[in-house]
Homo-oligomer: A and B are copies of this chain.
Amino acid sequence: MPRPKSLTQSQVTDAALAVIDRDGLTALSMRAVAAELGMATMSLYRYVTGRDELESLVAERVLGSLDITPPPGEPWQEQVAALLVRLRAAVAAHPEALPLILTHRHDSPGAWRWAEAVLTVLHSAGFTGRQRLVGLRGLVSYLMGALQTDRLGPPSGAADAGEHPLLADIVRQAKDLSPDDEFRNGLDLLLRGLADHLA
């Protein structure tokens, strides 16, 4: 009987993500999202209980869109790697939203589905429950840390070479290694460690 809603929760979420991508996470405010939609600030509260829920929705938007079917016919290492690379890509598509995703990854259905997929691969590969625990946590920690590192960019080069020659060398070498390759190399370290455990 009454007037129909003119927006959906999904549209509000999109607007929030657009603000974050364009102006950064610090620019995210109810006022900014409302402006993005051409509405009054308080109108948003018809679709969302508050800022916290809006943040959850943004995180779930990113985490819930993952393809969690591991590439068939590959060894378990490649299947795990593919799942990690996909998650990394999805988050890296919205680098400014990273802190939100880190905060909400423990109450996101999308993140649960992804974790279950990784665990399924490890289970099929023959890892015990304890090994799966250590493996998943290690992989996820590495991924989250790597995303954070990428987002901050290089160490600003302020470390002077005289006092920290090896660190300066690292900064120099990092220029010739793409973030994607670097991530994959670090990931291989973990996968190698896991394979040793299996044997």
Within 8 A of B (CB), among A177-191: 177, 182, 185-186, 188-191
Q: Which stretch from A4-12, A16-24, A32-40, A98-106 is at the chain B interface?
A: A98-106
* CB-CB nearest in chain B for A154: B106
Closest B residue by C-beta to A136: B170
Which chain B positions have C-beta within 8 A of A135?
A: 189
Chain B residues contacting A145 (CB-CB under 8 Å) are: 140-146, 148
Select A134's contact among B103, B138, B140, B189, beta carbons within 8 Å: B189
Report the Cα distance A170→B146, complex, angstroms.
23
Contacting pair B167 A112 (CB below 8 A):
yes
Chain B nearest CB, measured from A142 CB (Å): 5
A133: interface (CB < 8 Å): yes
Q: Indicate if A159 sits at the interface (CB-CB under 8 A).
A: yes
Among listed A44-52, A54-62, A78-86, A113-121, interface-contacting one: A113-121
Tell yes or no: A74 within 8 A of B by CB.
no
Taking CB atoms, residues of chain B closer than 8 Å to A189 are: 134-135, 138, 189-190, 193-194, 197
Q: Which residues of B contact A99 (CB under 8 A)?
A: 99
Enumerate chain A interface residues (CB-CB to B < 8 A): 99, 102-103, 105-107, 112-113, 115-116, 119-120, 123, 129-130, 132-138, 140-146, 148-149, 152-156, 158-159, 163-167, 169-170, 173-174, 177, 182, 185-186, 188-194, 196-197
The 7 closest A-B pairs by CB, nearest first: A141-B145, A189-B193, A145-B145, A138-B186, A119-B166, A144-B145, A192-B193
A–B pairs, 24, beta carbons within 8 Å: A102-B148, A106-B156, A113-B164, A119-B166, A119-B169, A119-B170, A133-B182, A134-B186, A134-B189, A135-B189, A140-B149, A141-B142, A141-B143, A141-B145, A141-B146, A141-B148, A142-B145, A144-B149, A145-B146, A189-B189, A189-B190, A189-B194, A190-B193, A192-B193
